[in-house]
């Protein structure tokens, strides 16, 4: 929450002496990943940069490991203004933002470069306008690589392997439908409930990028990881409109710049983080199925059936075509 704290008396003094903002303030950032995840490292950097740029007047309070909320709850708090900042996967926004529903469609992006160009263009502006209608300001996006399936039962190599599989998905209608189309049963669960669900047998499979597969510990319960790369939906850093408008224009700029800097930092580290995570998973017994070993044509064929459900009018069709045409 934005608040003035006594403990920041020293910071306040420094700010006053340095001619900075008169009040030292905390900005709370809610994060579900634990320390050590590349996402948390990037946010720590954001906090340092922000404090430097504002001469200590803005202090980021990073609440990691889901201490404050799971991602659906965090997004709800951003919308109602009871949380300052949250980092969530964009899939969480898909119930409220039509643009996110479209960009969550599987196999839409040819590459991550393609996705970044789309977000940097008109589509990104549409998304940010929709976020604003929900009481949120987009500060930046973060790389989330590509998501792939993992199972506790057996390697997923073709469409047939989804039959009877109970697959944990994020809170997104698109992913629920995807699993149904593939022939499995979707189970919506928050991230921190996935391990228990593997242990109890409530689920047989889930999907995620490599750093999250490893830092979450899911790899210990679902050792068959199939690199099908069905989606690349990025992470998003959002601030509530309430917190945003309470900042001075100079503070807003400092926050935005620190956010963009942390995103660039993360983009550079991401590939390394993927390689290291995969190596760790392999070393500890994960069985990796490469994309070339998966009968992708069957899976993709079913996944694209979602397109006809989610592209509901000409405007959606134009949007998707514009994404596909983006070089």
Q: Which span sits near ligand GTR by CB under 6 A: 115-123, 126-134, 206-214, 243-251? A: 206-214
| Minimal distance, residue 144 CB to ligand GTR, in Å | 6
Q: Does 212 bind ligand GTR (CB under 6 A)?
A: yes
Whole-number Cα distances in Å, 212 to 18, 151, 170, 216: 41, 15, 13, 6
Q: Which of residues 78-137 bind ligand GTR (CB under 6 A)?
A: 88-89
- The total of other beta-carbon atoms located within 10 Å of residue 191's CB is 20
Q: Does 215 bind ligand GTR (CB under 6 A)?
A: no
Residue 175 · residue 105 · CB < 8 Å = no
Q: Does 273 bind ligand GTR (CB under 6 A)?
A: no
What region does 179 belong to: left with phi over 0, alpha with psi -120 to 50, or beta?
A: alpha
Rounding to the nearest 10 degrees, give the CA dihedral for residues 107, 109, 113, 118. Answer: -160
Tokens at 185, concatenated:
């049963």
Tell me the C-alpha distance between 51 and 273, whole Å: 26
Tokens at 294, concatenated:
């998966």
The number of residues that bind ligand GTR (CB under 6 A) is 11
Q: Does 208 bind ligand GTR (CB under 6 A)?
A: yes
**How many Å is the Cα radius of gyration of the chain?**
20
Q: Does 240 bind ligand GTR (CB under 6 A)?
A: no
Q: Does 198 bind ligand GTR (CB under 6 A)?
A: no
Nearer to ligand GTR by C-beta: 24 or 31? Answer: 31
Nearer to ligand GTR by C-beta: 161 or 235? Answer: 235
| Residue from the set 175, 191, 224, 270 that interacts with ligand GTR by CB under 6 A | 191
| Residue from the set 54, 144, 148, 152 that interacts with ligand GTR by CB under 6 A | 144
Residue 257's closest CA among 131, 140, 120, 83?
140
Q: Does 209 bind ligand GTR (CB under 6 A)?
A: yes
| Minimal distance, residue 306 CB to ligand GTR, in Å | 19
| Residue from the set 71, 177, 229, 274 that interacts with ligand GTR by CB under 6 A | 71
Strands across the sheet containing 85-89? 58-63, 25-30, 85-89, 235-240, 136-142
Tell me the C-alpha distance between 4 and 12, whole Å: 10
Nearer to ligand GTR by C-beta: 140 or 208? Answer: 208
User: What pairing do the DSSP bridges indicate for beta strands 25-30 and 85-89?
Assistant: parallel
| Minimal distance, residue 169 CB to ligand GTR, in Å | 8
For 260-294, the three-class secondary structure string (H helix, E strand, C coil) is HHHHHHHHHHHHHHHHHHHHHHHHCCCEEECHHHC
Q: Which span sits near ligand GTR by CB under 6 A: 17-25, 110-118, 208-216, 289-297? A: 208-216
Q: Does 170 bind ligand GTR (CB under 6 A)?
A: yes
Q: Does 152 bind ligand GTR (CB under 6 A)?
A: no
List residues binding ligand GTR (CB under 6 A).
Answer: 32, 71, 88-89, 144, 170, 191, 208-209, 212, 235
């Amino acid at each position: 929450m934005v608040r003035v704290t006594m403990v920041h008396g020293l910071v306040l003094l420094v700010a006053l002496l340095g001619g900075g903002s008169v009040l030292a303030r905390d900005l709370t950032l809610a994060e579900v990943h634990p320390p050590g995840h590349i996402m948390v490292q990037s946010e720590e950097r954001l906090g340092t940069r922000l404090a430097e740029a504002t001469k200590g007047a803005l202090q980021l309070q990073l609440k990691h490991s889901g201490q404050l909320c799971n991602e659906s709850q965090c997004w709800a708090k951003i919308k109602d203004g009871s949380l300052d900042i949250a980092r969530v996967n964009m899939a969480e926004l898909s119930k409220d933002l039509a643009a996110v529903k479209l960009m969550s469609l599987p196999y839409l992006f040819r590459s991550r470069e393609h996705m970044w160009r789309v977000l940097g263009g008109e589509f990104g502006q549409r998304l940010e306008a929709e976020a604003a209608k929900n009481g949120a300001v987009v500060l930046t996006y973060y790389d989330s690589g590509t998501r792939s399936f993992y199972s506790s039962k057996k390697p997923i190599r073709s469409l047939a392997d989804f039959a009877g599989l109970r697959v944990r998905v994020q809170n997104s209608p698109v992913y629920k439908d995807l699993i149904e189309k593939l022939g499995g049963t979707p189970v919506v669960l928050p991230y921190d409930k996935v391990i228990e669900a593997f242990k109890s047998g409530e689920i047989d499979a889930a999907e995620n990028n490599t750093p999250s597969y490893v830092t979450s510990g899911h790899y210990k319960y679902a050792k068959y990881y199939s690199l099908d790369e069905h989606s690349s939906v990025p992470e998003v850093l959002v601030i509530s409109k309430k917190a945003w408008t309470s900042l001075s224009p100079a503070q807003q700029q400092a926050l935005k710049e620190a956010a963009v800097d942390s995103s660039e930092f993360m983009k550079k580290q991401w590939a390394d983080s993927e390689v290291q995570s995969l190596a760790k998973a392999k070393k500890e017994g994960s069985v990796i199925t490469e994309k070339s070993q998966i009968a992708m044509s069957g899976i993709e064929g079913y996944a694209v059936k979602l397109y006809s459900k989610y592209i509901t009018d000409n405007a959606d069709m134009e949007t998707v075509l514009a994404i596909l045409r983006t070089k």
